[in-house]
Structure 1
Amino acid sequence: MRLLHLGNVVVDLVLTVDALPERGGDVLAGSSMRATGGGFNVMAAASRLGLATSYGGVLGTGPYGDQARDDLRREGIDFPQPPHPELDTGFVVALVDAGGERTFVTSPGAEATLTTIPETTDDDLVYVSGYSLLHELNRATLVQHLPHLRGTVFFDPGPLVRQIPPAALQTALTRADWLSCNAREAAALEDLPGRTHVLVRRGADGCSLNNQLVGGFRVDAVDLNGAGDAHSGAFLAALAAGIDPLDAARRANAAAALAVTRRGPATGPTQAELDAFLTRPTDA
C-alpha cells in the first residue's frame, strides 16, 4: 500500500516563548528553529513506520522549497509533481509557549497552487487536508477530483474547519472513508453521528474510534506541535500493515505521546521506538 498525501508541505519557523506577547507587545524567544512541516509531519511519521509515502502537492523553487525537497528525500518520500517555477514553498511562524501549546501564522506559497493530482489506485491511502480546501486553486482541483479518487480517503479537516466553504467541505466528507480530527474540530462538524469511521483525537486521554474510547499514555510534554500529525501517520501505517483499527488507534496514541516529548514538528517515532514504548514495563 502507499500513502498519497494531497495536503501542503511548508517550512515551520518555530520559536519558543515563555508566553505569547500581548497585542502590540514584544517578547524574546528562548530558542528558534527552521524545519519542514505541515503535511510533511504526517508523511514522515508514516514513512518511519514502514509505509511507502508520496507527496502529491506542489513544492516551490527557492530556499524553503530546497529544504522541503531535502527533507522529503531524507525520509524516503517521493514527490512526483514538478516544482512551481515562480513561487517558493510557503512558511509558518509557530510560537510554542511554556506549556507546550502552539500558535500559528501561515504565509502560503507554491503548496497553494495544486492543479493536478497524481493517479491513484485501489490500494492507495489518500490523505486530504482541510488546509488545502482553504486555498482557491487547491479547493477547485480537489472538489473536481475527490468524487473519482480511487483508494481509501482519509480526511482531516484541521483547526480552520469553520472557514472551509460548505460545499467543498461536504464534498470531502461525502467521499471520505475515514474522518480524523481533534475534539474541537469534531464539535464544529454536524454530520459525525452517521459516519462509519470517525477517529477523534483527545490529547493525553487518547482518542475515540467510532465513539469507543482508546486510552492514551501520560508523558511529560515539551512540545505539542505535530502531535496530531504523528497520530495520523502512525494510524495510517498501522492500517496499511493490516492491524485492526482499535489496535491501530492505540499505536497512534503511543506515537503521539512519544512525539510530544520531543521538540520540533516532525517528531514521530521509528518502528523500534514505538515498539519499545508499547512494551515498556509500566504503561501510563
Structure 2
Amino acid sequence: MTPRVIHTAQALLDEVVQVPALPERGGNVMAGAHHLYAGGAVNILIAAARSGAACVHAGAHGTGPNGDLIREALAADGIGWSAPPITDLDTGICFVMIEPSAERTFVTTQGAERRITAASLQLSAPQPGDLVCVSGFSLLGRTRDPLLEWLDTLAEGVIVVLDPGAAFAGLERSVRERVLARTDVWTGNADEARDLTGLAPIAESVLAVGGLLREGAVAIVRDGPAGCVIAEAGRVQVVPGYPQQPIDTNGAGDTHTGVLCACRVAGLSWEESARRANAAGAIKVTRRGPAAAPTAAEIDAFLAERRHP
C-alpha cells in the first residue's frame, strides 16, 4: 500500500473575523470580514492532499452543522475519515481574531472532537511507512490518555510526526518524555523549540530537540519567512524561505507541516521536502483562510519563478 498521512488531532470549525485591533479587556471592537472554515487538523490534511498524499483523519467528528462542514471540507479534497461521528454532540469552535499585521488570537471551545478512544484511533489502521501526526494540544484534557495508550501500540515502522504547538513545553515531564521517545519527526516553530529546550538560537535549539527524540529521528524548526532548519544525524541544515507580504498567517504552519509530510511519503529528501514546504507556507500567507494551501502544481510554478527569474 502507498504510505498515508494520518492525523489524530482535533478538527475544529474556525470562526474567523478581521479586526483593526484586539479590544481592551471589557471593551468592544467592530469586526470586518467574517468567515467559517474547517480548521485544526483539517488544515494539515488538506495541505498534504493537495501535494498528492493519501490522507485520513483519525480524530473524532461531531453530529451537527459544524461536524458536517468538517466532513464536507475533507471530502472536497479526497480525504477520508476512519471513525464514525459522535452522536448527540457537535464539533467545537475555534474563534480567530486576525489583526492587520496578520497576527492571530484564538479562543477555543471543546466538543465532539475530544471524544476519541484508543479503539477509535485504531480504526485508521496505520501500517509501517504511514506518517501518524500528533498535536501537542491533543495531550491536554480528555484526549491525552487514549492517545498515549494508542501510541504505545503502534508497530515499528509507523512514523510518528509531532507538531508540539504552544502546549507541549508546559506538559508534565513524564508525558513529554513518553511522547518524545516515540517521535520520529518533530516539526515546530522557533518559539516552541525555545520553550522546550531553553535555547533561543535555532541552530542550537534544533540540535537540542533532536537529542530528545528516539534514535534516527529528525527535528525541524520553522523560522517564519526565513525558512526552516533541519537537524538530522547530528547535522544542521538551513533551508531558506521565501519572504512575502502576509495578509493571513492563520494555518501557515499547518500548511508547512502538511506539505512536508506529503513530500516525505512520496520519497523526497528532508531538504527538498522542507524547500517545498517553505514555498507552500509563503504562498499560503498571501491567501485568506486557514485551509488555503497551494497545490503541488502551484508550488512547482512558485519555485520555478524563483529559480529562473
Q: Specify if TM > 0.5.
A: yes
Cα offset for 1:283? Answer: 7.9
CA distance in structure 1 between the aligned counterparts of 2:261 and 2:90, rounded to whole angstroms: 29
1:170 maps to 177
For 1:198, the equivalent position in structure 2 comes to 219
1:166 Cα shift? 2.6
Match of 2:59?
57
- Letter in structure 1 aligned against 2:280: A
Q: How does 1:140-159 map to 2 (within 5 A)?
A: 140-150=145-155, 151-159=158-166
Q: Which whole-Å CA distance do the structure 1 matches of 2:185 and 2:210 have between them?
A: 13
**Cα gap change, 1:174 to 1:283, in 2 (>3 Å):** farther
Q: Secondary structure at the residue paired with 2:165?
A: coil
Distance 2:296 2:96 in 1: 28
Match of 2:263? 238
* TM-aligned CA deviation for residue 281 of structure 1: 4.5
Could you say what secondary structure the match of 2:196 adopts? coil
Aligned to 2:202: none
Q: Match for 1:162: what amino acid?
A: A
- Taking the aligned partners of 1:22 and 1:92, their CA distance within structure 2 comes to 20
3-state DSSP of counterpart to 2:192:
helix
Q: CA RMSD in A?
A: 1.4
CA distances 1:185-231 after superposition (whole Å, capped 9, x unpaired): 00111351514410101100101111321110011110000000000
The structure 2 residue matched to 1:8, chosen from 3, 7, 10, is: 10
Aligned residue pair count = 283
For 2:181, what is the secondary structure of its paired residue?
helix
Alignment-mate amino acid for residue 235 of structure 1: L
For 1:165 and 1:75, the matched residues in 2 are separated by 37
Question: Shift of the alpha carbon at 1:282?
Answer: 6.0
Segments of structure 2 that go 5 or more residues without pairing to the other structure are: 198-207
In structure 2, C-alpha distance between the alignment counterparts of 1:239 and 1:223, rounded to whole Å: 26
Q: Equivalent residue of 2:14, what SS?
A: strand
Q: Secondary structure at the match of 1:72?
A: helix
* Contact residue 146 and residue 171 of structure 1 kept, 8 A: no
Work out the CA distance in 1 between the residues paired with 2:111 and 2:176: 22
Q: State the TM-score, normalizing by the size of structure 1.
A: 0.96
CA-CA distance at 1:144 after TM superposition:
1.1
Letter in 1 for 2:53: L
Secondary structure of residue in 1 paired with 2:148: helix
Q: Aligned letter for 1:179?
A: W
Q: Do the aligned partners of 1:35 and 1:265 also contact (CA within 8 Å) in 2?
A: yes
Match for 1:192: what amino acid? V
Measured in 2, the distance between the counterparts of 1:30 and 1:101 equals 15
Give the Cα–Cα distance (whole angstroms) in 2 for the partners of residues 281 and 85 of structure 1: 49
Structure 1 CA distance for aligned equivalents of residues 8 and 172 of structure 2: 18
Out of 115-124 and 7-16, give the one that drifted further. Answer: 115-124
8 A contact 1:5–1:43 mirrored in 2 = yes
Native 8 Å contact 1:147 1:171 kept in 2: no
What is the identity, as a one-letter code, of the residue corresponding to 1:208? V
Per-residue deviation, 1:23: 1.1
- For residues 108 and 283 of structure 1, do their structure 2 counterparts lie closer, same or farther at Cα, with a shift above 3 Å needed? farther
Tell me how far apart the structure 2 counterparts of residues 200 and 247 of structure 1 sit (CA, whole Å).
15
Find the counterpart in structure 2 of residue 186 from structure 1.
193
TM-score (norm 2): 0.89
Q: Percent identity?
A: 42
Counterpart residue type for residue 67 of structure 1: L
Assess, with a 3 A threshold, how the Cα gap between structure 1 residues 281 and 185 changes in structure 2: closer, same or farther: closer
